[in-house]
Amino acid sequence: MADPVAGSRRPIQAAKGTAAVYAGGHRVPVVQAVAASGSEDVVVNDVRRAFHFQAAQTQADSATHMTAETIIRKGVVGLTDLQNLAPNVTIQSENGGATTNFYVRGVGMQDLTQNNTQSIMTYIDDVAYPLSTMASGMMFDLAGVDVNPGPVGFEHGQADSGGEILIHTADPTSTWHGGVTQDIASYARSRTDLFISGPIARGLSFRIAGQTMHGGGWQYNPQTHAHLGDADEGALRAKVKWTPDSKTDIMLTGHWLQDNSEVVTGKPALNFLSSQFIPTLPYQQAEWDIQPGFAKLIGRSPDLKPSEHNTIWGADLKMSRDLGFASLQSISAYETVREGEFTDADATSAPTGDTYRNINANSFSQELRLASKRASDPLQWVVGAYYNRVRVYQQMWFDFTGYVPKRGYVSETPFHQNQQTFNQFAHLSYRLPYHVTLFGGISHEADDRQLVNLSTIHFASGNAYQPTTVVANFANSGAAANQFSGVLGAQWQATKDLMFYFKVSKGFKPGGFTANNTVVQAQLAPMKPETVMAYEAGFKADIVPNRFRLNASAFYYGYHDQQILGYYVVPSYGPLGRFVNVPKSDIWGIEFSTEIHPLRHVYLTQNFGYERGKYTKFQNVSVAATSAQYAQTGVWSPLYDTYDGTDSGIPKLTLNGSADYRFNPLPSYEWEGGLDWMYRDTQAMAPGGLGQPGYHLPAYFLLGAHMTFRPTKGPWSATVYASNLLNRDYFTTGGMATTTYFWIPGPPRFIGGRFGVNF
């Protein structure tokens, strides 16, 4: 695998046609193509590598690269699991459901309705996923994952303020390969993965992969004795690769997912309604309910548990052509999601905040890139353009029939949103004498979105649930943005194994809307775009090659008009979420990652992230003070607070690492055992939340263990493992719904086994 251009941020991927250059510490096939009479002979050598991603050591970034092996060993099956493998990364489920919120180095946003651009963009095989639910269930048959922090959009895709997550799935192979893996664990959890790949005809190959997940529900209701949290998911991915000649590659990919999984429900942390009793339950117990009339209104079963009912499918076509002086690439993609999600957002058995979301959305994107081809040239460049169009229709339902006398009805808020984005980008680097490289990039992005036909309707409680009041047919709202962003930097390859870099970049993300439970027009006022001015310096060093690697970076972000979910207090109604802009905030921090192979059989890794954030200029509604005033007076009226100088509440310290021991107990067999761990610091869930009980998530530490036995060259492997080995009680995210502030608990201890066969 050739080293990428210095100064670029191109994904580090496996060499084409190989099964794995990813495999830290194991014997893996290294495929070398040798020209012989116009054909290619493949020579396979056995090598032992302690470290991987050697090419990434020459890139001027602080990206975290994860191998497919690491992802499997650490039990990553969803996007939220990735936060356990990278520093200063937070990936959280919204209300425990399929919507995912991303934060990297404190840059991110919380968006239940998914009608805004995320601060961290997710890509699967170079295709951007503008709605986080679209990427659900795709973490199988992987080649690797990269997490890139900082402003992006100068070399590919869409501009963004905080970074990107690049997911690479395995490609078709020119020889036959296949395999199946069965994973069985506590609480009757079952996961099955399979794939088959091989040639169809000369220059034509395919790959089909699938995954199913069932069981695993560990919560139960003490009132009904029903359990909750079972997975019920199936996914397929198919790829066809055609190489008509030596200069052309064409790849067609299609995927499909059906997710009917149950959703873990929250535990109340605060009670805003004095007349409502909030029980204190043991960790694995929870309450939920659904009223028959509400179930009938949304068209679901009266026995419905908190769950998803999602169908996601899409296709993309990637074409590349070697033009001699450069390579041309085209990526066309269409993605669609049909989501029906029920969550008991008040986390009680009372009908005071049950929520149902119906989302129909689709996205079409087209990207063209022209890039320099010869890595030996001192000048490297890439230019391109990206277009994205999104169409969304949503219905948000809230059951407030138990919230009396204030409400006592069901509320529906439907709306349409149309959005299109056009980004043009250029990036170049030039290699000077003495191993110094200068690089820079620029992007211009225009974004236009309209929120149309939004209304709110109230339905009276009772068997009929007839519409009684049309609160409003709200005026349409629009938001347009047109901005430049860019990056400038330098790197110095001091020695073959030591590189320093410094860069300055500006990130941009367009504005958008709040569109959930809307009762007044003021809630629909669009938020402004946000920008991040980022400064970063770092080094990458193989201090003792193949024995000790240390990469480190320091960063400072000037965050302008940060988009956060604040509050808007409606008299005689209460606080409702509304996106607001923080005029100015600051984030700074440090990161390092190290891999150590001190002894023959010992392999250690450790990621360390420390970050601090503060609001330097910000005034907003104090939800704690406003709720306290309501508890005393029974009247909702906003109380504002100044948050200038207040800690923004991002987790200050994140740690994750592993220790493995590998040896050969028999001449042809390998045994591996190890521990992995992670720590996340306290996180505020509302401005000023670090000083308010219930408004922040407690810190937590998790420990896992694994042991694998396999032939060194054989087709099978057997693994036993444990996650949350110490059976800690912890909470992964939180939120507020009407009468309660709740926390979403994480899974207890799981013990399982995995057996896989490959050919």
Please give the structure tokens belonging to residue 642: 């100044």
* Phi-psi group of 114: left, alpha or beta (phi > 0 → left; psi -120 to 50 → alpha; rest → beta): left
Q: Using the predicted structure, report yes or no on whether residue 165 has a pLDDT greater than 90.
A: yes
Strands in 176-266 per DSSP E: 177-185, 189-201, 204-215, 219-220, 227-228, 231-245, 248-259
Mean of all residue pLDDT scores within the chain: 89
Q: So what's the pLDDT on residue 26?
A: 35
Q: So what's the pLDDT on residue 288?
A: 92
252 vs 3, higher pLDDT: 252
Length in residues, the chain: 759
At 20, the pLDDT band (50, 70, 90 cuts) reads very low
The closest alpha carbon to 536, from 558, 554, 560, 513, belongs to: 554
Q: How far is it, in rounded angstroms, from Cα 530 to Cα 507? A: 8
Q: Which residues pair with 611 in a beta bridge?
A: 589
What would the pLDDT profile of 97-119 be if each residue is shown by its tens digit?
889 999 999 999 988 888 899 99
C-alpha torsion angle, residues 77, 163, 589, 65 (rounded to 10): 50
Q: Using the predicted structure, report yes or no on whether residue 34 has a pLDDT greater than 50.
A: no
What mean pLDDT comes out for the span 33-57? 54
What mean pLDDT comes out for the span 725-736? 92
Residues 430/491, Cβ–Cβ less than 8 Å: no
Q: So what's the pLDDT on residue 44?
A: 37
Q: How far is it, in rounded angstroms, from Cα 262 to Cα 744? A: 14
Domains of the chain: 27-758 (2.40.170.20)
* One-letter-per-residue 3-state SS of 314-380: EEEEEEEEECCCEEEEEEEEEEEEEEEEEEECCCCCCCCCEEEEEEEEEEEEEEEEEEECCCCCCEE
**Across 14-28, 166-180, 231-245, 326-340, least confident range:** 14-28
Q: So what's the pLDDT on residue 32?
A: 32
Q: So what's the pLDDT on residue 274?
A: 66
Q: So what's the pLDDT on residue 576?
A: 81
Q: So what's the pLDDT on residue 154?
A: 97
What mean pLDDT comes out for the span 653-667? 95
44 vs 724, higher pLDDT: 724
Q: Using the predicted structure, report yes or no on whether residue 469 has a pLDDT greater than 80.
A: no
Q: How far is it, in rounded angstroms, from Cα 199 to Cα 197? A: 7
In sequence order, what DSSP letters do the residues of 293-308 get, joined into one string?
HHHHHHT--TTPPSEE
What would the pLDDT profile of 385-404 be if each residue is shown by its tens digit?
999 999 999 999 999 888 88
Residues 488/503, Cβ–Cβ less than 8 Å: yes
Q: So what's the pLDDT on residue 515?
A: 86
Buried b (16+ CB within 10 A) or exposed e, 512-536: bbbbbbbbeeebbebbbbbbbebeb
What would the pLDDT profile of 486-516 be if each residue is shown by its tens digit?
999 999 999 999 999 999 999 999 999 988 8
Residues 502/62, Cβ–Cβ less than 8 Å: no
520 vs 126, higher pLDDT: 126
Q: Using the predicted structure, report yes or no on whether residue 18 has a pLDDT greater than 50.
A: no
Residues 428/384, Cβ–Cβ less than 8 Å: no
Q: So what's the pLDDT on residue 113?
A: 84
Phi–psi pair at 152, nearest 5 degrees = -140, 175
Q: Which residues pair with 469 in a beta bridge?
A: 458
The closest alpha carbon to 212, from 242, 185, 243, 181, belongs to: 181
Element (H, E) at 97: none
Element (H, E) at 384: strand 379-399
Residues 214/260, Cβ–Cβ less than 8 Å: no
Residues 112/316, Cβ–Cβ less than 8 Å: no
Residue 518 CB contacts under 8 Å (≥ 6 apart), including other chains: 413, 454, 456, 472, 474, 524, 576
Q: How far is it, in rounded angstroms, from Cα 278 to Cα 692? A: 19
Q: Using the predicted structure, report yes or no on whether residue 580 has a pLDDT greater than 80.
A: yes
